[in-house]
Structure 1
Amino acid sequence: MNYYYWIVAIIFFISAIVSRILRNKFRFYSELEMNIHMSGKEIAEKMLSDNGIYDVNVLSVKGELTDYYDPLNKTVNLSEIVYSEKTIGAIAVAAHECGHALQHKLGYKMLKLRNQMVPILNFSSKFTNFTMMFGLAIFYSSEGENSFFLKLGIGLFSLAVIFSFITLPIEFDASRRALIWLKNKNLVNYQEYNQAKDSLKWAAMTYVVSALGSLSQLIYFMSFLKNKRDEQF
């Protein structure tokens, strides 16, 4: 199973690099003033209004890079700097989160699927770690004869992996919608458009790395079953 540790190390290293680049990019673009001088809040409200969305509120939340769209409460939640600043970073993030609100309005299939998975994942996550640890203990104490609980734990964990990969097209699509709207409404010039695009690209990369990390964990857990099976032949 040594190969797994190499996979984890590589993904951890890449994740650290991507996270660092994202924060540096965000801080850099958070210092570049927009020509139109609109804050993240104003951009969000305009994008929602332009797309006929009037039942979603734009709120400010504490923290950095804590922005998200809540489909249940119908709120676009922007971190303090995104909410109030008039920068490239702020408008890119604000428009991206409104992209999710637009997906919600249009009934974007992948978003509907992910939302349907949320209660299932919230329930399964309460038992995943315990089931996995208990399953491993039973599996090895029985010398591989009893693998039911280990397989159950792997099954529960696989839901989280599926969820992380379903998230990818949703994030990319939200960024695509945001960039199209910014361009079509002439809210950004050529340079600002490319800067916003670059900012959102690195934000999306964090989801890619996270998905790959969860997949590597799943492969690791499944390797217990494979290695034990190989020992028996």
Structure 2
Amino acid sequence: MYYPYGFYDSTMLLMIPAILISLYASFKVKSVTNKYFKVRSQRGMTGFDVARRILDSNGLSHIPIYPVGGVLSDHYDPRNQTVSLSEEVYHGNSITSISVAAHECGHALQHSKGYFPLTFRTAIVPVVHFASSASWIVIMAGFLVSPRFLYIGIMLFAATVLFQIVTLPVEFNASSRAIKQLEALGISSDDENRECRRVLSAAALTYVAAALSSILQLLRLVLIARMGSDD
């Protein structure tokens, strides 16, 4: 075995901040979204109503909106140009519902405007899917067979790290567009806009945590590789 300690060494300490912020992000998004799922928007518009209003007002009436199962499983698919909203968001008229719906429409607006980070992220999705599936298999081969596999695995894992980093401006920008649309279309009041920002900020924290975890994991793998080569 090339690396006698495998994953269990002093480099594990690098993952402590990532674990802590991930736990906090998970707690934060659940507590904030659950809180504002219970707060009805003043205009009483559902997530579907908000999404339809935003899309139609921006010349995107051709984009369909579908309800999907799951909790906060909302997403915009640039491949077939569809907005999918979780049942509670689609049918709900809460602050969380209108915030999340507007956010997903923010991605549709990015796509229509050719927002480069979204275009780039979409383009590398096939590569990232392969890299994320293969990287840990190759990395384990590096521990058990040859250090060459470890370096290849690190390069594959770096692709997933790049994806997480590119995701940050995509998500922050979508939230910014969402708030602007809610304000411009008079969907929410000033007080509600502040509440919508809280919801979207909490959700954004999960992407920050994911990016940090990926970066620290990559750094850890590089350190392990260097420690092995020094031996």
The residue that corresponds to 1:142 in the other structure is none
How many pairs align?
Answer: 224
Q: Which residue of structure 2 aligns with residue 8 of structure 1?
A: 15
| Matched residue, 2:54 | 47
Q: Which deviations, in whole Å up to 9, do the C-alpha atoms of 1:195-230 show, x marking residues without a partner?
A: 000110010010000000011111111112221344
**For residues 131 and 35 of structure 2, what CA distance do their matches in structure 1 show?**
39
Counterparts of 2:103 and 2:122, CA distance in 1: 18
* Counterpart for residue 175 of structure 1: 175
In structure 2, C-alpha distance between the alignment counterparts of 1:212 and 1:117, rounded to whole Å = 20
Alignment partner of 1:160 is 2:160 = yes
If the length of structure 1 is used for normalisation, what is the TM-score?
0.92
Q: Which stretches in structure 1 are left out of the alignment for 5+ residues? A: 140-146
Name the stretch that deviates more: 200-209 or 179-188: 179-188
Q: Distance in 1 between matches of 2:13 and 2:169?
A: 27
| Deviation >4 Å, runs of 4+ | none
> Aligned partners of 1:10 and 1:2: how far apart in 2?
16
Question: 2:118 matched to which residue of 1?
Answer: 111
Q: Which moved more, 1:122-131 or 1:111-120?
A: 122-131
Query: How far did 1:190 drift?
Result: 1.4
CA deviation digits over 1:98-138, x for unaligned, max 9?
Answer: 00001111111000100110111122233212111112212
1:92 partnered with 2:99: yes
Structure 1 residue 3: Cα displacement = 4.8
Q: For residue 5 of structure 2, what is the aligned residue in structure 1? A: none
Shift of 1:4: 2.8
Q: Deviations over 1:35-86 (max 9, x none)?
A: 1110000000000001100221111111111111111121111111000011
| C-alpha distance in 2 between matches for 1:68 and 1:91 | 14
Does the 8 A contact of 1:172 with 1:204 survive in 2? Answer: yes
Identity across the alignment (%): 36
* Deviating more after overlay: 203-212 vs 50-59: 50-59
Q: Is the 8 A contact 1:25 1:199 kept in 2?
A: yes
SS of the residue corresponding to residue 65 of structure 2 reads strand
Per-residue deviation, residues 161-214 of structure 1 (Å, max 9, x unmatched): 000000000000000000011111222111100000011001001000000001
Cα distance between partner residues in 1 of 2:13 and 2:130: 32
Give yes or no for contact 1:4–1:216 (8 Å, CA) kept in 2.
no
Higher relative contact order (CA 8 A, sep 6+): 2
TM-score between the two structures when normalised by the length of structure 2? 0.93
**Alpha-carbon distance in 2 for matches of 1:79, 1:7:** 35
Q: Distance in 1 between matches of 2:135 and 2:24?
A: 29
Residue 193 of structure 1 corresponds to which residue in structure 2?
193
Larger deviation, residues 17-26 vs 156-165: 17-26
Q: Partner of 1:81 in structure 2?
A: 88
Q: Any gaps of 5 or more consecutive residues in structure 2? A: 1-7
Q: In the TM superposition, what is the alpha-carbon distance from 1:20 to its structure 2 partner?
A: 1.0
Computed over aligned residues only, the root mean square deviation of the Cα atoms, in angstroms, reads 1.3
SS of equivalent residue, structure 1 residue 102: helix
